[in-house]
Amino acid sequence: MMNPAQTFDYVVIGGGIVGSATAYKLSLKFPDKRIGIIEKEMELGKHQTGRNSGVIHSGIYYTPGSRKAENCRIGREQLVTFSKSHNIEHQICGKVIVATNKSEIAILEAIFEKGLQNKTPGIQLIDAAEIEVREPFIKGLKGIWVPSAGIIDYVAVVKKFIDLVLKKHPKNRLFLGEKVNSIQRMSQKIIIKTDNQVISTDKLIICGGLFSDRLAKLDGIKLDMRIVGFRGDYYELLEHAKHKVKNLIYPVPDPKYPFLGVHYTPMVGGKVECGPNAVFTFKREGYRKTSFSLKDSIEALSYKGTLRLFAKNWSKGIEEYRRAFSKKLFVKELQRMMPSITEKDVIATRSGVRAQAVGIQGQMIDDFKIVKNNGVTHVINAPSPAATACMAIADEIIKDL
């Protein structure tokens, strides 16, 4: 039997980095309002938030004037300030983006120009000798030094956001282990039903990550896109090889795709990871190579956008799948920047799934997308750098509430 309806002024669905940042910003703007947060898992930040690279992005890559570029620039500053204020473990270690062949130099230089337009702090073009000074084991023709990039524990950020929300007002509430089953409107109120709760609110904000499209459908929204999951696998440098990486090290990304390529990432806990790749996953929250959901698979593969995406990029897809099942091929990709790395230097570790919005024509939708519908705000697409930009995205979400 369900509990009687619990009433709030604002409810946020989703206990990841964007949802928790939004709840936090609501609590600052409306300290006297009652705020509820609903999370389907029994812990916070279990999916994209806790399974990404843990990078504080600088904003150098993004189209000037886009939501991504603006929110990343503003959000990075807010995130670093917040982390300093609340003693959240982070480090502004800097990043090197490395061109390893002549064909990549023009793309690298275009990224640098974007960085200048985006006001990315302190960026410098560096030559092969300067790359080697900063990263002795990395071989490249030309690079960009990005001093404002860093690393952080995003799950710790989420927990701090929620802790501050719950302390702000005695009637603020976190609901864990509550999957949303329906969204209805009744007498100027929005009624959310979960497995165990009936929750009433004046305004609802949905930050559903991998399930943002399904939650939009619950609210009767017809979308011109669908979420398709891409799994990314990571390897970890063994102790004897960790000295080979000093900062974040990234390749020049392929401009046809929204992924940044296989990179080297020092983590706040002292580990050094390499990855991720990007392969279609047959389960939205499937973190093993063999994970499978019939519902997720049918939904993705019956969608014309997915099929058109595959048709356009079949050779790249095969290449990524081969690397996903072959340590040798994964290491070969790592050797493009670090020729000395071997299979004996790395061990397979965790994986994550990225929520990629795909349009009906098979195009990957790269920018943030927020849709408002009669008192409900849907964050439909929040790809990387959403974690870095979370506080700026939250400001955008709540500005008209």
For the stretch 273-290, pLDDT in tens is 999 999 999 999 999 999
Burial 28-63 (b: 16+ CB within 10 A, else e): eebeebbbbbbbbeeebbbbbbbbbbbbbbbbbbbe
pLDDT at 254: 86
- In whole angstroms, give the CA distance from residue 187 to residue 318: 52
Which tens digits make up the pLDDT trace of 146-167? 999 999 999 999 999 999 999 9
Averaged over successive runs of 10 residues, the pLDDT of the chain (401 residues) comes to 77 98 98 98 96 95 92 97 98 97 96 96 98 98 98 98 98 98 93 95 97 96 94 96 97 82 93 94 95 96 95 89 92 96 97 95 92 95 95 96 87
Q: Please report the sign of the dihedral spanned by the C-alpha atoms of residue 18, residue 251, residue 268, residue 127.
A: negative
- In whole angstroms, give the CA distance from residue 196 to residue 194: 5
pLDDT at 255: 80
- In whole angstroms, give the CA distance from residue 286 to residue 283: 5
Token digits for 259? 């992924």
Sequence-separated (6 or more) residues with CB below 8 Å from residue 323: 277, 329, 330, 333
Q: CB neighbours (10 Å) of residue 76?
A: 25
Domains present along the chain, CATH in parentheses: 6-49+155-224+367-398 (3.50.50.60), 226-235+270-359 (no CATH)
Number of residues in the chain: 401
Paired sense of beta strands 279-280 and 225-237, if any: antiparallel
pLDDT at 401: 87
pLDDT at 1: 45
3-state helix, strand, coil in the chain (%, to 5): 35, 30, 40
